[in-house]
Amino acid sequence: MSILRDLALAWQRRRHGLANRARPHAAAPSRLQANALIAAMPDIRPSHLETTLRLQCSRWLNGHRPARSMQASLLALSQVAEASLPLDVYGDGIAMQTLEADVAALLGKPAASFFHKGVAAQLAALRGWCGEGQGPVALHPQCHIAVDESDAFEHLMGLRGLQVGAPDTPFTVQALQALPEKPAVVVVELPLRRAGFQLTAWDDLVAISDWCRREGIALHLDGARLWEAQPHYERPLAEIAALADSVYVSFYKGLGGLSGAMLLGSEAFIEALRPWKSRLAGNVYTLYPFVLSAFQGLREQLPHMADYRNRARNLAAHLARVPSWHVAPEPPPTNSFQLHLPVAPDALRETMLAVAREQGFWLGARTTPSHKIADGAMVEVVVGNAAQDWTDDEVVTLWQQVVSAAQR
């Protein structure tokens, strides 16, 4: 009831022009009044309730501490140094061009273009490398472009995929050499999220890059989590990016931004993609909130990626000691890993939500069937600054309580 009441009050303030600001100490509505407000509201989706529940918690397992409201998010962005600059208009603005130049320098690429969405950035990149043809595009069957983007490169761009590699394992140059035809572009996702955030070994990555250059094939890095991968390689971001012809990075995952992505490559490559940016609805009138949050993430989160990775490895080691539990990969190369538990996914999810309601600790709300434990569940663990609010022992104990309750 408290969650619905909070949503009802927020809706009421919106409907009445935030009139309640004039009465900051007004009494909370009675149950009868709250029921009347709830009855007058638009339909509430389950996801709305989960979001509100998450924000009512005091501790979170995954990611960074969330902004409690849009107002809190905007106030934080207003403190970013570049907030005093003029707004960008259709991709043209001092702050946006500064961000593009900064990220290009960080990754050692000649040019960069900000996109509102990584899907659009990668579709443009693949079309650019394939020219007027259909490709093919060599990619892992579990990669983001194939799974999470619903094969948009095929359905929207008319390109053709060429799957390479086995499930749950990054592919090697030998797998590329065994392809039945020559691809126009090879895509490597670092890390491969759907395979448990596994990273291609450095020597394998170098071999793939060398082979692509010898064969005249473009190499594109899906680096949505490249920031998180860098500590494992123990090499500068520019050295990693130098292996590829184009690189995409995200600002809203490990960096905690609102949204947004950067596509990097040669000046000629980035310039040639300008028409595709418009065709993919990427030439948005203004994107300044995304730009400001990207600056914020680069300054506040990027310096701590090695710490988040080390914390994830320590937590994974603690969890892996529990009998019948499984961590993958072990040890994790980045700040993220899969936790497989001997309990049904639906029962686990309901118990996780109960813990959030009763203890104020958000363990998440996403569970999927485990491919490691029969009839078990899998959850993803992603370590960010929220990890500063709990100990590894506390998390292990809490998961043990959750699994025990879910098994009843």
The pLDDT assigned to 22 comes to: 42
The pLDDT assigned to 30 comes to: 60
Q: Are residues 231 and 378 in the same domain?
A: no
Q: Is a pLDDT exceeding 50 seen at residue 5?
A: yes
Residue 59 lies in a domain: no
Q: Are residues 401 and 345 in the same domain?
A: yes
Domain containing residue 210: CATH number:
3.40.640.10
Residue 61 lies in a domain: no
The pLDDT assigned to 36 comes to: 64
Of 270, 300, 330, the last residue of a domain is 300
Percent of the chain with pLDDT over 70: 90
Q: Are residues 249 and 135 in the same domain?
A: yes
The pLDDT assigned to 3 comes to: 60
Question: For residues 392 and 381, what is the distance between their CA atoms, to the nearest angstrom?
Answer: 12
Q: Is a pLDDT exceeding 70 seen at residue 1?
A: no
Residue (of 76, 152, 169) closest to 118 by Cα position: 152
Q: Are residues 189 and 212 in the same domain?
A: yes
Residue 60 lies in a domain: no
Contacts of 99 (CB under 8 A, 6+ apart): 114, 262, 291, 294, 295
Residue 74 lies in a domain: no
The pLDDT assigned to 43 comes to: 73
Q: Are residues 292 and 150 in the same domain?
A: yes
Q: What is the pLDDT of residues 96-144, one digit of tens each?
A: 999 999 999 999 999 999 999 999 999 999 999 999 999 999 999 999 9
Residue 49 lies in a domain: no
Residue 72 lies in a domain: no
The pLDDT assigned to 408 comes to: 87
SS (H, E, C) the chain: CHHHHHHHHHHHHHHCCCHHHHCCCCCCCCHHHHHHHHHHCCCCCHHHHHHHHHHHCCEECCECCCCCCHHHHHHHHCCCHHHHCCCCECCECHHHHHHHHHHHHHHCCCEEEEECCHHHHHHHHHHHHHCCCCCCEEECCCCCCCCCCCCHHHHCCCCCEEECCCCCCCCCHHHHHCCCCCCCEEEEECCEHHHCCECCCHHHHHHHHHHHHHHCCEEEEEECCHHHHHHHHCCCHHHHHCCCCEEEEECCCCCCCCCCEEEEECHHHHHHCHHHHHHCCCCCCCCHHHHHHHHHHHHHCHHHHHHHHHHHHHHHHHHHCCCCCEEECCCCCCCEEEEEECCCHHHHHHHHHHHHHHHCEECCCCCEECCCCCCCEEEEEEECHHHHHCCHHHHHHHHHHHHHHHCC
Q: What is the pLDDT of residues 7-56, one digit of tens each?
A: 556 655 555 554 444 444 445 556 566 556 556 666 778 888 899 999 99
User: 251 or 37: whose pLDDT is higher?
Assistant: 251
Of 254, 279, 300, the last residue of a domain is 300
Question: For residues 59 and 390, what is the distance between their CA atoms, to the nearest angstrom?
Answer: 8
Residue 380 lies in a domain: yes
Q: Is a pLDDT exceeding 70 seen at residue 401?
A: yes
The pLDDT assigned to 21 comes to: 47
Q: Are residues 247 and 105 in the same domain?
A: yes
Q: What is the pLDDT of residues 254-268, one digit of tens each?
A: 999 999 999 999 999
Of 240, 275, 300, the last residue of a domain is 300
The pLDDT assigned to 89 comes to: 98
- What is the residue type of 356? A
> Phi and psi at residue 162, in whole multiples of 5°?
-130, 100
Q: Are residues 111 and 259 in the same domain?
A: yes
Q: Are residues 295 and 343 in the same domain?
A: no
Q: Are residues 148 and 263 in the same domain?
A: yes
pLDDT band at 243; cut points 50, 70, 90: very high
Q: What is the pLDDT of residues 179-226, one digit of tens each?
A: 999 999 999 999 999 999 999 999 999 999 999 999 999 999 999 999
pLDDT band at 311; cut points 50, 70, 90: very high
User: 392 or 45: whose pLDDT is higher?
Assistant: 392
What's the whole-number mean pLDDT along residues 216-239?
A: 98
Q: Is a pLDDT exceeding 90 seen at residue 2?
A: no
Q: Are residues 237 and 379 in the same domain?
A: no
Q: Which domain holds residue 40?
A: 1-44
The pLDDT assigned to 386 comes to: 97
Q: Are residues 222 and 282 in the same domain?
A: yes
Residue 51 lies in a domain: no
What's the whole-number mean pLDDT along residues 375-395?
A: 97
